[in-house]
Chains A and B, each alone.
Chain A
């Protein structure tokens, strides 16, 4: 997990973040020891392409730019995320590696759930695990749909 300017334990509750709204408090209490509220300074990276995907980010405040860096062109921001949105699902996939960079555009605060604990909780509590994945899947689907439209370059004349 990347270094953050500050971090402190976070007592998870359904009211902590819109993504958590429909989860049972006992499931969230079980994850509480693996959750931290972290603050990232402007221009600090929350995660880096190729790094270990070791956390799930629930954004509370600020703005995060998802960036792609290639050797032949300047770093490109392809999406920004803000309060109420979530960041990162590569921790669900076997390689457990990030596939892009995420940079705080301005000071950003997030709840970060440890990926290993989250995977364990999903395995140990299948009903909650299905609920978790059912909550995450529409977000992934919407971002995929948006990316498809962006690929069309619809605003080019």
Chain B
């Protein structure tokens, strides 16, 4: 991706308004955003992110977790984890905020055609994957077997519960959920997402693995997939770094030779592996 010039309008936030706000968990909401004055939202590639700025609080990179092209809206799923995200999660319908983007490189949907897919999400790693999963399901015959493993801290931390329920009922994918700990009222799996990989159904030689979540989880997923015979080059991870400019100017998100905002956030594992083992990168 070319680096924009300093007078490029793509780095200027546009005013958007919160059309709808859905409470996902105790600290996480999904915000449905439309441009002030209406009109379409730019096309985006699943896995890309926007920079959201609740006025007066700062700016933060949030992946696009959905869109409604007919109604011209983007959805962003935000967990309250700091000053800016806390302000975002408190925005009511009708509130205005700044949005710029979409930025970055998304999931390799085109090269995944005719392949099996193992998609692994941890915690808020599911929102950046949801648009890709929706695209795959909309063009289901173009892909092989689809296995999705979603891990969260507890059952009450699972997002998109109604959509997950619909995915579970489909017979053309397998969706497994696991949590780190649960009470007796949970009948699902408990344990790490990686524990579900040994019996996942895919042809390792014709599989892509996509993972998004905490870095240590993604590293374990990559190692488990490689142990099953998946070529490292067929593994893609969505990295999270402290992004500021989002266009490759400032270097805040640099990870080894990669700028996560510009070259990622979705990057092939071989480009990341040497740096995942380095402290303080």
Contacts and interface: CB of A to CB of B under 8 A. Distances in A.
A154 interface: yes
Contacts of B122: 154-155
A105 B190 CA distance: 11
Interface string B129-154: 00000000000000000000001110
A146 interface: yes
Contact of B216 (A66, A106, A154): A154
Interface stretch (B59-67, B177-185, B260-268, B269-277): B177-185
B79 interface: yes
B81 A155 contact: no
Contacts of B180: 150, 153, 155
A63 B189 CA distance: 9
A21 to B, nearest CB: 14
Contacts, number: 69
**Which size class do A's interface residues fall under?**
20 to 34
B214 interface: yes
Nearest to B80: A157
Contacts of B108: none
A87 to B, nearest CB: 13
B255 to A, nearest CB: 18
Given A149-B216, A154-B123, A84 B199 contact: yes
Interface of A: 63, 65-66, 74-80, 82, 84, 105-106, 142, 145-146, 149-150, 152-157
15 contacts: A63-B189, A66-B190, A77-B190, A78-B181, A78-B190, A80-B190, A105-B187, A146-B191, A146-B195, A150-B191, A154-B217, A155-B180, A155-B214, A157-B27, A157-B80
